[in-house]
Structure 1
Amino acid sequence: MTNFKMFTATLAVLASGTLAASACEMTLRSSDTHPDGYPTVEAVKYMGEQLSAATGDKLCVEVFHSAQLGEEKDTIEQTQFGVIDLNRVSLGPFNNIIEETKIPSLPYIFRSTEHMHNVMDGPVGEEILAAFEAHDLIGLAFYDGGSRSFYNSQKPINSMDDLAGLKFRVMQSDLFVDMVDALGANATPMPYGEVYSSIQTGAIDGAENNWPSFESSGHYEVAGYYTLDQHLIVPEVLVMSKLTWDKLSADDQAAVKAAAKASVPVMRDMWAAREAASEEKVRAAGVEIITDIDKTPFIEAMVPVYQKYVTTDKLKDLVTRIQATE
């Protein structure tokens, strides 16, 4: 779809949804690829409630879930142009745009979810959020994206050797492509919404994602093997169009940031519950879960990926500080 047609289609969807929030002076239109009820969607709704209360209904948020406004790569550009006001996106699609986002997207950079929280809630996280402004976006907060693992329709993956020759969908990020290639598999970048049919038809063998995405997308229906190699713990990010941001008063800007930060613990609680529920559903469906896997060869295979992407003193410093964070 051309940019003009894409923007026109988005504007049509946005126009159809503005009546419900017409009581507000300004309705911020937020995009998410995930379905209604998903933790990120509900967290942005919660942010909207907090923002409305803080501003006396001056500012409201309307969430367009289920990729109504497009897939993540397309909505990033629309947010930069101010067509979309708020956007919840994984850091992966930003890797080719904002170099600082490559670091939290590196395989095995985080030792655990708790480690990721400590890093992204601290100075490193604030520094990465600040880097968005130079790209016509305002970084507001980080959400959880879970630990990502490989799933496929062909066979159990018990070691790196089992990955050889398999075709996996990855996010549209060069870093993710290189990660899969370094493991001996074949990477196929494609939008999230095309994965189910592509596995079903054999265009790809599988993909990699977290428990809730694997379950809510229905991918577990066509990919019966899920290996918990947990190669990525990539945060999600909530951003705002700088064009929209610049229209707000300083007080309203502060209210937006405060509401976004307040939504983070709410999202994390919902995420933990959703992970457990998704895992239970996937296991009940008969998917074979491979948990006994030696991650050491996977981690060692990432050396050339780090060498390729951690090239400047600034990025090397970010890696060092993340590794030093307790």
Structure 2
Amino acid sequence: MKKLFSMLLVLVILVAALSGCSSPTEEATTEEPTQAAETTEPEKKEAVVVKFGNAGAIGEPAPEACQEFCDLANEAFDGEFVFEFYPAEQLGNEGTMMENLQVDLQQGMMCSLDSLASYSKDINILSMAFAFESSEHMLNYLHSEVADPIWNALDDNGFHMVNFEFQKNPRIFFCKYPLYSPADMVGMKYRIPNLPIFEKNALAMGATPTVVSWSEYPFALLQGVVDGGECSKDSYKSAGLYEAAKYVTEVNYAYPVECIIFSKTFWDSLTAEQQDIVNECAEKAAEGYNETIKQKWEDDKAFLIDEGEVTFVEYDRQAFLDAAAPLAEALEEEGFFETEDLYNKVQAFK
């Protein structure tokens, strides 16, 4: 009897032991899925970096407009894209940046529209001396069907035009001595960018064209490499050009605009909604630029006269017009324009 009782007791102990050993395993099995679910987090998508460049020095109107555009875009995209702005040729000069856009090494830039003339020949008309009577005249042309070859050619060369309505003040002549008429420009060492249309303008006025990059312009004046040249009114003070060339001929021979362009590869990668956001930001930046630019020249002019000791000369406008008169026919004959009889066609948009 005692032996039977002992055997039963051993059996009970074994069952209890087996039950105790299996319970931790069961608990671990049931808790694992809950623990795994608690540690799973959604993956965060990395922001796309958009490199945006400009050749202008900090403090000039164009870089300020670029910064505003990038700030507006960063706010609108809220981390989806990060627009990084590089002023003062940090990504290269304008030619280098355009090449960067063509292979998508950088995504966007602001430049003068006439800087793109090597990719679209009709753009040359924008820089031709006295081709337009006002900014409105020029913009009427750019918004017309007559200007369509410009945008088509830029697309074919890997650029997408976003906005071309950053209206700069007109272009002026300036020198180390007074320029009353083209007769005073004969033999003048006249700075030009590396664009053929500017060479044609200089030669028409009797000057000797000398290619100098924008970043070297002030030093070239100080060192006597050039006697003077031309620029938009906006840049004369901000670039410090007045320090060495203190005589201004405010002849308003052309009406330049800055533009925002993007790599076509990058632009085509955006959704229609994303493209609309970029367009809206560019439009807002242009509105702000245009509201301040004309007043800025009035302020600059007062400074230049009062503190910069700059002289605004009385000039013979008709003499300049007469010197430029043969340009249209000569440029047409030499193939500067894609559109036949372009000069006469743009006169219809006055």
Normalised TM-score (structure 2)? 0.78
Q: 2: distance between equivalents of 1:175 and 1:121?
A: 22
**CA contact under 8 A between 1:108 and 1:231: conserved in structure 2?**
yes
Contact between 2:332 and 2:341, CA under 8 Å: does it hold in 1? no
1:197 is aligned, of 207, 212, 219, to 219
Partner of 2:97: 75
Which residue number in structure 1 is paired with residue 172 of structure 2? 149
2:288 is equivalent to residue 266 of structure 1: yes
The 5 A counterparts of 1:178-257 are 178-257=200-279
Are residues 1:279 and 2:301 paired? yes
Distance in 1 between residues matched to 2:320 and 2:289, nearest whole Å: 30
1:234: Cα distance to partner? 2.0
* Residue pair 1:211, 1:279 contacting (<8 A) in 2 also: no
Give the match for residue 38 of structure 2: none
How far off is 1:321 after superposition?
Answer: 4.3
Secondary structure of 1:103's partner? helix
Identical-residue share of aligned pairs (%): 24
Which structure 2 residue ranges, 5 or more long, are not aligned?
A: 1-44
Q: 1:261 to 1:276 in 2, by over 3 A?
A: same
Q: Which blocks of at least 5 consecutive residues in structure 1 are unaligned?
A: 1-22
Q: Deviation per CA, 1:11-54, whole angstroms, max 9, x where unpaired?
A: xxxxxxxxxxxx97223211112233433223233333433344
What is the alpha-carbon distance in structure 1 between the residues aligned to residue 103 and residue 68 of structure 2?
25
Cα contact 1:31–1:86 (8 A) shared by 2: yes
What's the offset of the Cα at 1:131? 3.2
Moved more, 239-248 or 258-267: 258-267
Give the equivalent residue in structure 2 for 1:324: 348
Q: How far 1:315 moved relative to its partner? A: 2.4
Which deviates more, 258-267 or 198-207?
Answer: 258-267
Distance in 1 between the 2:57 and 2:282 partners? 20
| Residue equivalent to 2:311 | 288
After superposition, what is the alpha-carbon deviation per residue over 1:188-241, rounded to whole angstroms, capped at 9, x for unaligned?
A: 122101111111111111120122211111110111111112222122221111
* Alpha carbons 1:35, 1:41 under 8 Å: kept: yes
Q: Is the 8 A contact 1:92 1:171 kept in 2?
A: no
What is the aligned counterpart of 1:159 among 155, 165, 181? 181
Partner letter of residue 315 of structure 2?
I
Q: Considering only CA atoms, is the larger Rg found in Structure 1 or Structure 2?
A: 2
Give the counterpart of 1:297 among 319, 325, 334: 319
Q: Which runs of 4+ in 1 moved over 6 A?
A: none
- Greater CA deviation, 116-125 or 36-45? 116-125
**What is the one-letter code of the residue matched to 1:170?**
I
CA pair 37-201 structure 1, distance change in 2 beyond 3 A: closer
* Preserved contact between residue 171 and residue 255 of structure 2 (Cα < 8 Å): yes
Shift of 1:173: 0.7
| Contact preservation (8 Å) 1:130, 1:139 | no
The two structures, once aligned, show a CA RMSD in angstroms of: 2.4
Superposed displacement of residue 160, structure 1: 1.1
Summarize deviations over 1:237-266 as a string: whole Å, max 9, x none: 211111221322232223222322332211
| Matched AA of 1:216 | S
Deviation at 1:114, TM superposition (A): 3.4
Residue in 2 aligned with 1:9?
A: none
Calculate the TM-score normalised by the size of structure 1: 0.84
Q: 3-state SS of the aligned residue for 1:188?
A: strand
TM superposition shift of 1:314: 5.5
Q: Any idea what the Cα deviations from partners look like across 1:65-111, whole Å, max 9, x if unmatched?
A: 12222222222212222122111111333222211211222221221
SS of 1:104 mapped into structure 2: helix
Q: 1:131-142 to 2 correspondence within 5 Å?
A: 131-142=153-164
Q: Which amino acid aligns with 1:108?
A: F
Number of the residue aligned with 2:134: 112
Task: State the 1:124 CA deviation.
Answer: 5.2
- 2: distance between equivalents of 1:32 and 1:238? 10
Which residue is 1:58 aligned to?
Answer: 80
Matched, 1:315 2:342: no
Pairwise CA distance, 1:310:
3.2
Q: Is 1:102–1:309's contact at 8 Å kept on the other side of the alignment? A: no
Q: Equivalent residue of 2:91, what SS?
A: coil
Work out the CA distance in 2 between the residues paired with 1:320 and 1:307. Answer: 10
